[in-house]
Structure formats: structure tokens, C-alpha cells
Amino acid sequence: MQREVKTGATTGLGAATMRALVVEAPGRLRLDERLRPESAPEGWVLVDIARVGICGTDYHILEGNQPFFDYPRVIGHELSGRVAEDKSGFSRGELVTINPYVSCGRCRACLRGKPNCCTKIAVLGVHRDGGLTERIAVPAQNLYRADGLTPDQAAMVEFLAIGAHAVRRSGLTGADCVLVVGLGPIGLGTALFAQARGAEVHILDANAERLARLQRDFGFANTHALDDGPEVLMAATGGDGFDVVFDATGSARAIEAGFALVGHGGTYVLVSVVKDKISFLDPEFHKRETTLMGSRNATREDFETVKAALADGTIDSSKLKTHAAALRDVVEALSGWSADRRDIVKAIVTVAD
Ligand SMILES: [Zn+2]
Ligand SMILES: [Zn+2]
């Protein structure tokens, strides 16, 4: 562990340096010293990072459970920052949210308006170096103005956008009865946007304390413990099943169990991804005329939905941020958070203001 690194120090060659959190291998973190970029390629803009949200993907990277992941890597994909130069219509000092999904703009998905599932997608902090550092270069089209938001809020837009995207994909309305399974940050975002659309939202999670807290903090009236079983859940809908079920568990068994909770004519949205095969009984699937959909990442439209919900208070961000650390303490903080995540909704690292 390397702790004593000066920020913005000037080397003998006159170049400024910056700190960057590098995951060298599973369980091996280091606050590294790197040259600070002073220029970005055409169409890219330099951003001085303000806040970095930490999420399940980051913990998977730390633990070595992230599929197709190359070490070493600077992590960090839930990012807010201040534009570091006057360029591409942005002005220096402007607060921005960063969309970390860098798409190719040329594949069929991109051309059809779905850059969130670009065939060549490169996610900052996953497929290329991310933002748990002091300055990065980002394509101008991946920067969204965050006027009206705080730096904390601007760093929460990305994880909430995953849920906003899943809800938009589902097409649910205020007339629907909805179940969200798995209430980590992604499931919570999904439940919040379903609630914002006026749906009757039920939440199901294995962690009873978490459910109680979410009920208290966000007003979810219908909570279900894992041992409620399918009969109890079906009874909660008068036996009809749910119009929309969202899975955000990351568990193949939970995903398979969820098929039976979808009502006739209903929709099942898989938000979480698992490395396993998923199977279901076709007659049960077919008789419901189930609509099954995956939901991946988010697009600009979803980021805008989240920005508006944070700015007007539809989503109370003060209840989301449960843990915080400064960049200089990030190695210890990340190790502690990843060892016990039960009470964490969102942990945020402050890089600058
Ligand atoms: Zn994330
Ligand atoms: Zn593409």
C-alpha cells in the first residue's frame, strides 16, 4: 500500500502528477502516482473528477469476480466532475455527470439508437481506465451538464439510470403492480423509478434490515422477506401475479424463481446479469404470454430522467449516500466497504469539490 503521494506535484520535467486508485490484482489496491493529462484528443474533454460512487461492479473487481476483466485497472465509473477546459461547448469549471459507456457510434445497435448495448462498448473503470483519479479525458458526447445538482448527486446519476432504463424498457404505468427482487443499489433505483411512475411497488430481499430501512426512508409500503415464498407473494396480488417483475439479484436461482411470479400478460425484466444458464418451464412461460427482456446500462434519455428526479426531489439523494471517504483514504475505505456491504446503499469517494 502506497499512501504518501502528493497531488499536483511537479516532477523534475515540469509535468504535474495526480493520484489514481489502481486495482493491481484481486485484493491488491494501490494509490498510484501518474502524470496528469493536460490535453484530450479531438472530440474528448478533460474533466477534473469531483466524486466517485462505488458499486457492486467495483467490489466484484476487487474480489476477482468480474468476468472478462483485465488487471491492472483504475476503477471508477459513477462519476461527477468539473470540466477542465473550454471545449466542445463546455466551459471550464462546469459541473458534469459522466456517462461511462463509451460506444463506437458505428455498429448496428449504435445506429439504431441503442449505444447502451453497442457491440464494442467500453465502460470506463471496467474495460478501460476509469475515474477514481483526479483527471480523465471523456468523449464530449458522454458528458451531461449537472446544473442544479450537487457533486454528490451528479455522481449518483449513473447507478440510478440503470433502474430508470429498466423501468422505461418495461413500459410500466401507474396502473401496474410491480415486484422488484434484490434491493441493492440497482434494485433500489428500479423500485424508485417504478414508484415515481405511480405503480404499486413491492420489494423482495433477503436482508430484513435493509427492507425495513428502505420502507422507512423511501416509503415502500409492500416489503417481502425471502422466506415469504411464492404463495405469499401471489396472495399479495390477489393471486393474479405481478404485471412487471424486475430481477436485480445477480442470482440464477432467484431469476428462475421469478418466472412464476409474473402475471398473465406480464413482463419479466432481467436487470442483473449472471454467468449461468437460465431455464424456465415453457408451458408456464407461454400460457402467460410472458414478455421477457434484458436491460443493460442506460442511455442519455435515462440520465436526463434521473437528473430531473434528483433536482426536483422526487428521489431524496440524502438517503442514498450512506458511506463516504476522501481519496487519500480510499484504499482502507474500499477494503472495509467490500468486506461488509450489508449497510451500504451508496458509498462515495470525494476527490475534489
Ligand atoms: Zn456502478
Ligand atoms: Zn456501437
Q: pLDDT digit string (tens) for 45-59?
A: 999 999 999 999 999
Tell me how far the alpha carbon of residue 129 lies from the centroid of ligand 1, in angstroms. Answer: 14
Q: Does residue 42 have a pLDDT over 50?
A: yes
Tell me how far the alpha carbon of residue 78 lies from the centroid of ligand 2, in angstroms. Answer: 21
Tell me how far the alpha carbon of residue 165 lies from the centroid of ligand 2, in angstroms. Answer: 18
Q: Give residue 13's pLDDT.
A: 59
CATH of region 163-294: 3.40.50.720
Tell me how far the alpha carbon of residue 159 lies from the centroid of ligand 1, in angstroms. Answer: 5
Question: Where exactly are the structural domains of the chain?
Answer: 2-147+320-350, 163-294
**Cell numbers representing residue 141 in the block:** 458526447
The beta strands (E) that lie in 87-221 are given as 95-98, 101-102, 122-123, 135-139, 143-145, 177-181, 200-205
Q: Which residue has the cell 449516500?
A: 321
CA angle at 113 for the pair 111 and 117, rounded to the nearest 5°? 90
CA distance to 23, 37, 138, 143, 353, per residue, from 83 (Å): 26, 13, 10, 9, 12
CATH class of 2-147+320-350: alpha beta
Q: Does residue 7 have a pLDDT over 60?
A: no
Tell me how far the alpha carbon of residue 158 lies from the centroid of ligand 1, in angstroms. Answer: 7
Tell me how far the alpha carbon of residue 114 lies from the centroid of ligand 2, in angstroms. Answer: 8
| Ligand closest in space to the Cα of 102 | 2
Q: Give residue 12's pLDDT.
A: 56
Q: pLDDT class for 227, splitting at 50, 70, 90? A: confident
Tell me how far the alpha carbon of residue 77 lies from the centroid of ligand 1, in angstroms. Answer: 6
Residue 18's DSSP bridge partners are 34
Tell me how far the alpha carbon of residue 194 lies from the centroid of ligand 2, in angstroms. Answer: 29
Q: pLDDT class for 229, splitting at 50, 70, 90? A: confident
| Ligand closest in space to the Cα of 156 | 1
Tell me how far the alpha carbon of residue 270 lies from the centroid of ligand 2, in angstroms. Answer: 22
Tell me how far the alpha carbon of residue 50 lies from the centroid of ligand 1, in angstroms. Answer: 16
Q: Does residue 2 have a pLDDT over 60?
A: no
Q: Are 103 and 115 in contact (CB under 8 A)?
A: yes
| Ligand closest in space to the Cα of 161 | 1
Mean pLDDT of the chain, nearest integer: 94
| Ligand closest in space to the Cα of 117 | 2
Q: Give residue 51's pLDDT.
A: 98
- Spatial separation of the C-alpha atoms in residues 128 and 236, rounded to whole Å: 45
Tell me how far the alpha carbon of residue 78 lies from the centroid of ligand 1, in angstroms. Answer: 6
Helices then strands, counting H and E runs in the chain, come out as 10, 18
